[in-house]
Every structure is written in structure tokens, then in C-alpha cells.
Structure 1
């Protein structure tokens, strides 16, 4: 008797995915990126996310991670999650022009940080007095095709306790 068989398609192992809640790094009012008065952020060119109009001058870690980069003027940084997801936090608009005045960094590139840990303190009044906006974009950075989908949560937020973004990340083994 003739036996027929089908070759099984080789299956690739599927990567487990988890939802990551990203908490507010500053307290204030979270708004869509389209409200940021800078086309690079408002147009989503840096990635998806939200912006927060801060009510206090303290930026905290929204999750446990590693500081991937701190801008030398201390107005922005990139925090990396264990999954590889990177989050850009940029205090104010055009604040690079302040050359670090009004910003105190408590971290350096390569530091491991815990959720809620103070990363940067900043002087809201000094930033405003210099003529700059304090609105703070919080962006899940992407590299083209690997940009994850992000759910944004708007409204009044409290640093460390209010979820502002939810995204999918690869589960850790």
C-alpha cells in the first residue's frame, strides 16, 4: 500500500509578549504629542508617546531600567527597559539653549535605576523666565519597522502612580 505524507511546515518559535505599563515621570497634565509646539515631536518623528505639562520640577524613572543616554545639558535622557524598549524623556522645548542652567542630573549614562527614582530636577520658573515651554514629551522611540504600538492615557497624572503609556514588549525568559 502506498503511504502519503505531508512535510510539516517548519514553525518558528513565537516570542512571548507582555504589556508594559509606563508610568508618568512627572506630575501634571498629559496631552497628545500634537499639542507640543515643535514639529519633530508633534509630527511623531521621534516615535509615539505623549507630553506632560509639569506642575513640579522632578523627573523620575517610569520603570526599572538602564540609562542609555543623558544629553550633556541634562534636559533629556533615554531610559532602556530590560526588554530593549527605549523611552525618550525631553524636559521642555528648545531647553537645550539653556546649556544645563536650571537642570540637576542625578544619573549618568550606564546607571541602573529603579522605578520612582529621581533622575533630573529642573527649575520650572527659570525655564519659563528664559522664555521656554516646560511641556515634556515622553516618547517610545522606534527604529522604523520595529516601532511598537502605544496606547496613550491623557489627563491629570501623578509621577510614579499614573499609567501614561501601555505597549507590548517581548517577555523576559
Structure 2
């Protein structure tokens, strides 16, 4: 019998399954439905979009706030595995200059799943003529891109999974 030989590079990579819960309650949709080519075309990474039913963004897993955009409309959350998730509220909401967003965390904070990260005013976003659909993106930071499975339908923040990621480390 022949045994299967693995290269040192193959031995260094192990696969980790990460389930990402909905960070916002609402309707989970394919990224292709986001009215912004950068997100819809997958240029930022793979993921899902959620049309929010309420203005609360929660941590989808235990992790660390890697970065918060100055206007508080987006942040990057890092999983202990190193996987990074971009949570972006609405489309073109940077134009609101932070007026519809209140961050409850700072860069470097450790957060637990379900913890409120950002509160946002859905009415103010819509009154400004902007869409509230919110992309949830697994950023392209790994040497070997992760496999991402998106789940769609009605979701409740912290209760329903929206992404399953097979990350090779």
C-alpha cells in the first residue's frame, strides 16, 4: 500500500468551520441584490446582505473590533481565527457623516456575540434617500480564500446563521 504524502505547505493549513450569525434582524439576500457594484460584484469579498428591520447592529460572534469607520456606518470585526468580517450599514451612508449612527464600541474592544456594536436610525437613512440594505462581507485577507456559504431568508440578529465559512489557516 502507498501512503499519501503531504507537502509541508499542505500540513500547515487546517480547515476551520465558522458559523456567522445575523448581525442585524431583517431579510437576508444575495450580495448580487445590493445596488452597489463593489459589493454586488464580490470585489470586497463574499457574503450576504441584510435589509434591516431595526436599527441595531450586533456582534455575530465573539471577537475584536479591528476598525471602525470614522462616520460609524461600518466596522471590521475579527474572529479569533483571524477571519475578518466587514459589517457595512446601508449604501452610500458615509454621506450622512455619522449623523444616523451611534457606535457603542471602539477599535480594539473585545466583544461577545449578541453585543450591540452600532445603533442606527433607519428613518434618517431612508429620509436621506439612501438604501439601508447592509452588506456583511468576509474580507479577502487570507492567502487561501475561504469557502463561504450564504444563507437567505428572514433572520433575527444573534439567533439565525447567515454565513458558514470554511477557512483554511
TM-score, length of structure 1 as denominator length: 0.90
CA distance in 2, matches of 1:133, 1:83: 32
Q: Is it true that 1:76 corresponds to 2:51 in the alignment?
A: no
Which consecutive aligned stretches of 4+ in structure 1 deviate over 6 angstroms post-superposition?
A: none
CA deviation after TM superposition for structure 1 residue 11, in Å: 4.7
Which residue of structure 2 aligns with residue 3 of structure 1?
none
Identify unmatched segments of 5+ residues in structure 2. none
CA distance in 2, matches of 1:18, 1:148: 10
CA deviation after TM superposition for structure 1 residue 18, in Å: 2.3
CA deviation after TM superposition for structure 1 residue 168, in Å: 1.4
Which residue of structure 1 aligns with residue 64 of structure 2?
66
Instruction: Tell me the alpha carbon deviations over residues 32-89 of structure 1, each in whole angstroms, 9 at most, x when there is no partner.
Output: 0000000000000000000000000000000000001000000000000011100001
Q: 1:17 to 1:92 in 2, by over 3 A?
A: same
Alignment check: 8 A CA contact 2:147 2:167 kept: no
CA deviation after TM superposition for structure 1 residue 144, in Å: 7.1
Q: Is it true that 1:158 corresponds to 2:153 in the alignment?
A: no
CA deviation after TM superposition for structure 1 residue 143, in Å: 3.4
Alignment check: 8 A CA contact 1:74 1:100 kept: yes
CA deviation after TM superposition for structure 1 residue 149, in Å: 1.1
Larger radius of gyration: 1
Find 2:167's aligned residue among 163, 166, 169: 169
Instruction: Tell me the alpha carbon deviations over residues 138-163 of structure 1, each in whole angstroms, 9 at most, x when there is no partner.
Output: 00001375321100000000000100
Alignment check: 8 A CA contact 1:141 1:147 kept: no
CA distance in 2, matches of 1:28, 1:10: 45
CA distance in 2, matches of 1:87, 1:144: 12
Find 1:25's aligned residue among 14, 23, 26: 23
Alignment check: 8 A CA contact 2:73 2:101 kept: yes
Find 1:116's aligned residue among 110, 114, 117: 114
Match runs of 1:1-173 below 5 Å: 11-12=7-8, 13-143=11-141, 145-169=143-167
CA distance in 2, matches of 1:143, 1:118: 25
